[in-house]
Amino acid sequence: MRKVPTNSFYTHTGKLLRDALAFKNKGGRGSDILAFEEAFAEYIGVERAFLVGSGTSALYIILKALMRFSNKTEVVLPAYTVPTLTLAIAKAGLKTRLAEIDINTFNLDPQRFSDVISKKDTLAVVPVHMFGFPMELSEICKSSAKEGFYVVEDCAQAPGAKISGRRVGGESGVGFFSMCKGKIISAFRGGIITADNKEIALEIEKEISSMPTPGRLFDLNLFVALFLINYATIPSIYGPLFKLISLFKSTEVHERFEPSLASPFAARLGLTQLEAIDTQLKRRTENAMALYKALEKIDGVGLPNIIEGASPAFNHLPVMIQDNEMLSALTKILFKRGIDTARMYERPIHKIYDLQYPDLPDPFPKATELSEGLMVLPVHPGVTKRDLGIIIETFKEIFC
């Protein structure tokens, strides 16, 4: 009956919640929020950080700030990423343009994004470090300087990931992270903006100052949600109660989005986890690389390349399996053996929202290929060596 969930909350939740309850909510963006923002900025290596209500809210706020410098109207996303980013773009009054992914890295193809860049219309390009795997930004940043658009790093799944010795979120001048459920640093809800450009940071601060900070009722609901998630993700509870827990998993396609800020309670949650992030990342890396080294030798299993100089954060370990029957069989057998998996986004963005792209021919076949064959495996600190062995042996049984 023991089952390992794909995501797990912070491993010392009792301490986490005790520390978080010690905050002193004086209303507004008080000392707790500022303490977290300063600590996170120092960790990433940037001038400023801003705590907000979600990663999607973070992108919205960044775009509103950038619009103060430019009247351009388009934002470029990889065709495979979290689809709700398009809602933030639309809420800001901008248009989404998609670019093809690199099937070898699962990230935006740095050789293809220029196909959709317009010197007249492109306000920003949003490269995504999918699943915590850093992507190379040098080509995009060079193009940015030449064509006059902004680069906004989506580091939602990648806090602590490095490229060429520097943590992601600081190279392009502005980026954002997510603290929503299932993320490496999680407060169930939340997002973080990082900014190394003083002018952009000032406009972000102005945008945030016009938004209300959640009150104590929000904090109470958040505490209850985190308490339940803590126990729901314990393998000995997750297994027996899986059918009940699965009813609360989000599967809906969101059609609306409202930007929000986070509370001091979320800041305390984030600060406690930030203090322990290196230990968390070490465990994730050990688990992920044990799987990576075993699975990369198996024909029929695709893994994202770890580019030179990159140190992934491993929010999950993504694998691509082109044979749908094998993918289905693998999912069922792993579940029976106590390992839950996920498919993430089973369609690319252009097949979820109507962005005026044709159905045929498929404008983004690589994004479609990834979405149809993707499975993510758990590598969080709650995964044991026995669990890793089960995963590896099951793959070998199916493919070898």
Please give the pLDDT value at position 227.
Answer: 79
Where does the pLDDT of residue 15 fall: very low under 50, low under 70, confident under 90, or very high at 90 and above?
A: low
Please give the pLDDT value at position 176.
Answer: 98
Task: Inform me whether the pLDDT recorded for 217 exceeds 90.
Answer: no
Task: Inform me whether the pLDDT recorded for 26 exceeds 50.
Answer: no
Task: Inform me whether the pLDDT recorded for 296 exceeds 70.
Answer: yes
At 156 the three-state DSSP class reads coil
Distance from C-alpha of 191 to C-alpha of 203, rounded to nearest angstrom: 17
Where does the pLDDT of residue 18 fall: very low under 50, low under 70, confident under 90, or very high at 90 and above?
A: low
Beta strands in the chain (DSSP E): 48-52, 74-78, 95-99, 122-125, 150-154, 162-163, 166-167, 174-178, 191-195, 310-311, 317-320, 374-377
Sequence-ordered list of residues with C-beta below 8 angstroms from that of 53, at least 6 positions apart, any chain? 189, 190, 191, 214, 259, 260, 261, 262
Task: Inform me whether the pLDDT recorded for 395 exceeds 90.
Answer: yes
Task: Inform me whether the pLDDT recorded for 264 exceeds 90.
Answer: no
Distance from C-alpha of 390 to C-alpha of 392, rounded to nearest angstrom: 6
Answer for the pair 172, 151: CB distance below 8 angstroms, yes or no: yes
* pTM, to two decimals: 0.94
Please give the pLDDT value at position 233.
Answer: 86
Task: Please tell me the least confidently modeled range out of 118-122, 168-172, 228-232, 328-332.
Answer: 228-232
| Token pair 């795997």: residue | 133
Task: Inform me whether the pLDDT recorded for 1 exceeds 90.
Answer: no
Mean of the pLDDT values across residues 232-258? 83
Q: Enumerate domains of the chain plus CATH numbers.
A: 13-209 (3.40.640.10), 277-399 (3.90.1150.10)
Q: pLDDT digits over 89-115, tens only? A: 999 999 999 999 999 999 999 988 888
Task: Inform me whether the pLDDT recorded for 28 exceeds 60.
Answer: no
Task: Inform me whether the pLDDT recorded for 21 exceeds 80.
Answer: no
Task: Inform me whether the pLDDT recorded for 10 exceeds 60.
Answer: no
Q: pLDDT digits over 143-181, tens only? A: 999 999 999 999 999 999 999 999 999 988 999 999 998
Q: DSSP characters for 98-150?
A: EE-B-TTTSSB-TTTGGGG--TTTEEEE--B-GGG-----HHHHHHHHHHT-E
Where does the pLDDT of residue 255 fall: very low under 50, low under 70, confident under 90, or very high at 90 and above?
A: confident
> For the chain, what is the mean pLDDT?
92
